[in-house]
């Protein structure tokens, strides 16, 4: 099969190649999936560049997220799954078979039925960002009736945090840095969108109401704003590391009686992953759609796809093997 892969970490154009490699066999409990769309996430290019090093077993086909059709199943898997359209998550976690290839093999629970009418591009946009957003919102229980601040509502995780929080019956305010991004966050369903570069951003968020929970993409940059708008006993959930770690204003955090929580997809409990997959699929079946722009690249342009994602393309970068 044709696969994009790298054998050592480095710049996209230097280490990513398309090669012919043997197709993976689905092992016990696994499914073989013909991949039609493969989603690029920051974690994929950070592993490839070496910014967040991961061990490489001879070669690494990148990308956790994808969508396609099950073509074969390993032992212990219901053969009735053959022919099923699926979206994939964590395909490349501790294995070389990422989704940037014509086929991948994944544990069967990582291949989630894709509802009829939902495109492979949408299916390939879900895994990393939507599951992370789900855990940020619900890892302490339901958020129905709560007021949520989603920092960076035009980002991929931010987008799904808005959609999932609204579905769960929360009020949602989000921050963005431009009118273009504001339009995307509005489309995702945010009740209020605030440009965080404006001098009255804090006042605007405050006026929306005291915040119960923050899904935070930039703790250091935003902690001052967060502390100014949260209600006592609120939770700030951080899912992204900034270039430099922030200095923690301990007294201000104590005064706010705030809980700081940190989330990493790779450490999500299995039950939380399965709940996230189920809830995301229910949202898709009910008609929720990713409203972010999609930038498509053929497999042969894998390096350009990574470069686009790394340079901050707004929306989802999708490779089509």
Ligand X SMILES: NC(=O)c1ccc[n+]([C@@H]2O[C@H](COP(=O)([O-])OP(=O)(O)OC[C@H]3O[C@@H](n4cnc5c(N)ncnc54)[C@H](OP(=O)(O)O)[C@@H]3O)[C@@H](O)[C@H]2O)c1
- Name the minimum Å distance from CB 291 to ligand X: 13
Contact pick of 149, 157, 230, 283 for ligand X (by CB under 6 A):
157
- Length, in residues, of the chain: 321
Which residue's structure tokens are 């790298």? 6
Contacts 24+ apart (CB under 8 A), 226-233: 226/149, 226/151, 226/258, 227/252, 227/253, 227/256, 227/258, 228/202, 229/149, 229/202, 229/205, 230/149, 230/256, 230/258, 232/256, 232/257, 232/258, 233/257, 233/258, 233/259
Does residue 214 belong to the site contacting ligand X (CB under 6 A)? no
Residue 39 is encoded by which pair of tokens? 């989603």
Please, what is the minimum distance in Å from the beta carbon of residue 160 to ligand X?
9
Query: Nearer to ligand X by C-beta: 145 or 269?
Result: 269
CB of 72 to ligand X, least distance (A): 30
Q: State the nearest-atom distance from the C-beta of 265 to ligand X, in Å.
A: 3
CA–CA separation, 194 vs 175, rounded Å? Answer: 5
The least distance separating ligand X from the CB of residue 184, rounded to whole angstroms, comes to: 9
The pair of structure tokens assigned to 263 is 């989330």
Name the residue nearer to ligand X (CB basis): 68 or 315. 315
Binding test (CB under 6 A) with ligand X, winner from 1, 228, 240, 285: 240
> Pattern of binders to ligand X over 31-70, x per CB under 6 A?
----------xxx---------------------------
- Decide: is 222 part of the binding site for ligand X (CB under 6 A): yes
Burial of 271 (0-12, 13-18, 19+ CB in 10 A): exposed
Nearer to ligand X, 51 or 278 (CB): 51
C-alpha distances in angstroms, 102 versus 43, 113, 123? 21, 19, 16
Q: Are 246 and 219 in contact (CB under 8 A)?
A: yes
- Pick between residue 32 and residue 131 the one whose CB is nearest to ligand X: 131
* Min separation Cβ 148 and ligand X, Å: 14
* Token pair for 27: 């092992």
Q: Which position among 88, 128, 148, 283 is part of the footprint of ligand X (CB under 6 A)?
A: 128
Instruction: Pick the binder of ligand X from 177, 255, 282, 300 (CB under 6 A).
Output: 177
Using the rule CB under 6 A, which residue among 62, 107, 129, 189 binds ligand X?
A: 129
| Residue 229 interacts with ligand X (CB under 6 A): yes or no | no
- Residue 278 interacts with ligand X (CB under 6 A): yes or no: no
For tokens 């929360």, the residue is 170
Size of the site for ligand X (CB under 6 A): 27
218 binds ligand X (CB under 6 A): yes
User: Which residues make up the interface to ligand X (CB under 6 A)?
Assistant: 41-43, 128-129, 132, 151-152, 154-158, 175, 177, 181, 196, 217-218, 221-222, 239-240, 263-265, 312
């Amino acid at each position: 099969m044709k696969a994009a892969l790298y054998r050592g970490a480095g710049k996209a154009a230097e280490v990513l190649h398309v090669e012919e490699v043997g197709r993976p066999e689905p092992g016990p409990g696994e499914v073989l999936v013909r991949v039609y769309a493969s989603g690029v996430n920051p974690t994929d290019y950070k592993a490839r560049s070496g910014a967040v090093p991961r061990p490489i077993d001879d070669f690494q086909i990148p990308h956790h997220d994808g969508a396609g059709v099950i073509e074969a199943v390993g032992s212990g898997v219901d053969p009735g799954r053959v022919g099923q359209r699926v979206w994939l998550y964590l395909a490349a976690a501790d294995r070389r078979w990422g989704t940037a290839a014509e086929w991948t093999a994944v544990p069967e629970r990582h291949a989630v039925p894709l509802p009829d009418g939902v495109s492979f591009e949408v299916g390939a946009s879900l895994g990393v960002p939507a599951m992370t957003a789900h855990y940020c919102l619900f890892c302490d229980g339901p958020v129905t009736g709560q007021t949520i601040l989603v920092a960076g509502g035009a980002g991929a995780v931010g987008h799904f945090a808005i959609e999932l929080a609204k579905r769960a019956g929360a009020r949602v305010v989000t921050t963005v840095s431009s009118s273009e991004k504001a339009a995307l966050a509005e489309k995702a369903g945010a009740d209020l969108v605030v440009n965080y570069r404006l001098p009255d951003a804090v006042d605007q968020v405050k006026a929306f109401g005291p915040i119960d929970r923050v899904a935070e993409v930039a703790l250091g940059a935003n902690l001052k704003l967060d502390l100014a708008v949260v209600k006592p006993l609120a939770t700030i959930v951080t899912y992204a590391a900034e270039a430099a770690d922030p200095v923690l204003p301990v007294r201000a955090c104590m005064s706010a009686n705030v809980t700081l929580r940190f989330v990493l997809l790779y450490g999500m409990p299995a039950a939380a992953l399965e709940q996230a997959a189920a809830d995301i699929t229910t949202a898709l079946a009910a008609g929720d759609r990713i409203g972010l722009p999609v930038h498509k690249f053929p497999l042969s342009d894998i390096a350009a796809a990574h470069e686009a994602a790394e340079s901050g393309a707004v929306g989802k970068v999708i490779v089509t093997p």
